[in-house]
């Protein structure tokens, strides 16, 4: 379903351009940015789309795929960033895994949490792990909501009002001793 109001691209059109209106351009700095910078962008996009569905009650069946993908990507990037911090906590070499499994990432993060915060609430860690495992059950390699190549397991219905997700702040790695 094409939007007829959008103009076709013309020869010479560019996607990445410099601009003066700061409200219309994104700043793409050179060099590396932290994991949080990337992760937060996916979370914001997921939140915006989720709120759109809640507010308009439109396109819920089409937007479920990008919404779930955006939140899963957010979780994966947050966990990879926390993975890197966990390696620092344990004085280990930081090398980020190129795989997409959420629960293996969380296992390493949980190990670091227990090191820097021995009294961390075990029930909270179990609840997080259970939700990550549920997510991974339906989308183990981060592709079922990106491509229509494999059937998505019968999920029933996604409750948009409960779809927004978050990862606790990294500050626990920075403030606990």
Nearest CA-CA partner of 46 in 170, 133, 166, 176: 166
Is 82 domain-assigned?
yes
Query: Has residue 15 been placed in a domain?
Result: no
Q: Is residue 143 part of a domain?
A: yes
18-31 pLDDT tens trace: 777 766 767 666 66
Q: How far apart are CA 115 and CA 85, in angstroms?
A: 12
- Going by C-alpha positions, the residue among 37, 30, 31 that lies closest to residue 80 is 37
If one counts the domains in the chain, the total is: 1
Instruction: Determine, yes or no, domain membership for 29.
Output: no
Whether residue 2 lies inside any domain: the answer is: no
Range of the domain at 50: 35-175
Q: Is residue 130 part of a domain?
A: yes
Q: Is residue 114 part of a domain?
A: yes
Tokens, residue 97: 């895994």
C-alpha–C-alpha distance, residues 12 and 89, integer Å: 49
The answer to whether the pTM exceeds 0.85 is: no
Does the residue 17 lie in any domain? no
Q: What is the pLDDT of residues 127-173, one digit of tens each?
A: 889 989 988 888 888 888 888 776 655 555 555 555 555 544 443 33
């Amino acid at each position: 379903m094409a939007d007829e109001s959008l103009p076709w691209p013309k020869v010479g059109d560019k996607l990445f351009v410099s601009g003066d209106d700061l409200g219309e351009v994104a700043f793409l700095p050179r060099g590396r940015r932290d994991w949080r910078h990337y992760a937060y962008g996916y979370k914001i996009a997921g939140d915006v789309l989720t709120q759109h569905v809640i507010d308009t009650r439109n396109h819920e069946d089409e937007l479920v795929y990008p919404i779930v993908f955006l939140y899963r990507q957010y979780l994966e990037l947050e966990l990879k960033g926390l993975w890197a911090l966990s390696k620092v906590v344990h004085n280990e070499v930081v090398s980020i895994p190129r795989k997409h499994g959420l629960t293996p990432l969380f296992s390493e993060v949980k190990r670091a949490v227990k090191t820097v915060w021995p009294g961390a609430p075990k029930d909270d860690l179990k609840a997080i792990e259970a939700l990550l495992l549920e997510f991974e059950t339906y989308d183990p390699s981060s592709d079922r909501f990106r491509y229509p190549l494999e059937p998505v397991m019968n999920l029933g219905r996604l409750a948009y009002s409960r779809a927004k997700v978050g990862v606790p702040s990294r500050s626990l790695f920075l403030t606990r001793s």
